Amino acid sequence: MGEEGMTSEVHEKAAKASPKLTVLPLIALIFYDVSGGPFGVEDSVRAGGGPLLSLLGFLIFPLIWSIPEALVTAELATCFPENGGYVVWISSAFGPFWGFQEGFWKWFSGVMDNALYPVLFLDYLKRSLPIFNHMIARIPALLGLTASLTYLNYRGLHIVGYSAVSLAIFSLFPFVVMGILSIPRIRPRRWLVVDFKKVEWRGYFNNMFWNLNYWDKASTLAGEVENPSKTFPKATFGAVVLVVSSYLIPLLAGTGALDSPSSEWTDGYFAEVGMLIGGFWLKWWIQAAAAMSNLGLFEAEMSGDAFQLLGMSEIGMLPSMFALRSKYGTPTISILCSASGVIFLSWMSFQEILEFLNFLYAIGMLLEFAAFIKLRIKKPDLQRPYRVPLQTFGVTMLCLPPAVLLVLVMCLASVRTLLVSGGVVVLGFFLYPTLEQAKDRRWAEFDNHQLAVPSDTLHVEDHLFVSQPRPGAGEAEVSPLLESSSAETDLETSEIAVEGVLKTD
């Protein structure tokens, strides 16, 4: 065996030896991909002109947005249990060009999102430690924090998962206490207050959208999940309940117990709510919880971004170095690449990042919904361990309301957001042929091997996930070869899989 083969075998053994994610850590990672707690939802009360629209938003938006996206993610993540997630879905439905674009948009928006969290962590600390207002202390702290959290990602995804569980408990428990303490002071009439003259629709929809998106992010870790056909649907359902509860309970407690004007509900106001309801001890606890929540958000986002690059490398879209794993089973180069992007983008303001994120995310999600419907039509017999219990027309209607919401969010974008996001899209269009040129001229090494899907995951004995050796002209698919009920068809399928021929319609 050559040196290259031995290296590949070592990394494959590291991947297999690393502990897999179970239900509880996956719930925590999805929770941090989407939410991280109620920190940041305060502005929905101000932008909504009072509590009513904020409360209605977190009751209605999950029904028309979060649940459809979570259901689509559960079906496709179990159908394609590979690292890369939505990149593989889009490639199977529309070919590798659009799969690459999806991956680039989502990775870029994820890195932008992650650049926020070390900054927000220090913003909470500076309330008690004013030294972090000065750049001489702030810059080394940002670099040190990013390096420390990146190292935690390097040490193993299972460590990140269980760290996320601990951080979620610590971050949410003060709001449980606040909810209990607020009960004697709650007046339901306060929940019905709204001043439509003060409603800022653009800010309101952006806040709702940002606090309820990224359900699909955990799909990039599907290859690291234990028995994904059962684990993913359970974890997704648990995360939906946890996210919605983490928003509604603090909002019901704070707006029902206090007569604070809507103008006071800005980022960080929950700490003041805690002081007014429970005292200074609760305020400090909420501030500490907010700071720690940002660490969980960083870890979950970086894991998703890094394993997405790994998945793209495994199917030949990126050079094979992005698939190299450490002895802990983590993608070393992919983690370093994502961390570098975080440091590079950390100079941007919160509002700038928020709008750019939403726009790029909206484009990607429209493509995902289209791929979901196309795969239902084009590949009705595709093995689906978890299937949304609706026929083609039903799933089309399921995707329609969130698609309308996505278009609305894009229409509300500023001119600057349109220009920057358009630039990112154009860059992606140029990157794909550049990488194809690098592959053809052997400027870099690309992986061309087949990816096997564990039979116990999909409950099919001879179920192989075959990647096209090299994306070429025409549509390239990445699709499971389905087991036939007859022995003859089984034999033909096995022969095709061994020969490495991609099944086409």
Q: What pLDDT digit, counting tens, does each position of 262-271 carry?
A: 888 987 788 8
Evaluate whether residue 414 is within a structural domain: yes
Task: Read off the DSSP letter of residue 480.
Answer: E
| Cα 201 from Cα 47, distance rounded (Å) | 7
Evaluate whether residue 154 is within a structural domain: yes
Domain with 176, as residue range(s), is 3-423
| Amino acid letter for position 447 | D
pLDDT at residue 75 in the model: 93
Best CA proximity match to 475, nearest among 87, 91, 86: 91
Q: Which of 100-109, 170-179, 389-398, 475-484 has the least mean pLDDT?
A: 475-484
Our CA dihedral for 355, 358, 362, 364, rounded to 10 degrees, sits at 110
Best CA proximity match to 497, nearest among 483, 35, 102: 483
Evaluate whether residue 456 is within a structural domain: no
pLDDT digits (tens, 9 = 90+) for 409-442: 888 888 888 888 889 999 999 999 999 999 888 8
Q: Which of 186-190, 341-345, 403-407, 414-418 has the least mean pLDDT?
A: 341-345
pLDDT at residue 388 in the model: 92
Evaluate whether residue 189 is within a structural domain: yes
| Cα 49 from Cα 265, distance rounded (Å) | 10
Cα–Cα distances in angstroms (integers) from residue 174 to residues 67, 123, 300, in the given order = 27, 20, 22
Evaluate whether residue 144 is within a structural domain: yes
**pTM of the entire structure?**
0.76
Q: What is the three-class DSSP state of 225?
A: strand
Evaluate whether residue 246 is within a structural domain: yes
Task: Read off the DSSP letter of residue 464.
Answer: E
- b/e string for 356-383 if b means 16 or more Cβ within 10 A? bbbbbbbbbbbbbbbbbbebbeebeebb
Burial class (CB in 10 A: 0-12, 13-18, 19+), 16: exposed
Task: Read off the DSSP letter of residue 21.
Answer: B
Residue 124's pLDDT band, with cuts at 50, 70 and 90, is low
pLDDT digits (tens, 9 = 90+) for 327-376: 878 888 888 888 877 777 666 666 667 778 788 888 999 999 999 999 99
pLDDT at residue 450 in the model: 44
| Cα 85 from Cα 367, distance rounded (Å) | 13
Question: In which residue are the tokens 């649940």 written?
Answer: 67
Mean pLDDT of 439-446: 86
Evaluate whether residue 486 is within a structural domain: no
Residue of 125 and 263 predicted with greater confidence: 263
Evaluate whether residue 480 is within a structural domain: no
Percent composition of the chain: helix, strand, coil (DSSP 3-state, to 5) = 75, 0, 25
Total number of domains constituting the chain? 1
pLDDT at residue 464 in the model: 35
| Cα 173 from Cα 200, distance rounded (Å) | 31
CATH number, domain with residue 291:
1.20.1740.10
Whole-angstrom distance between the N-terminal and C-terminal Cα of the chain?
Answer: 37
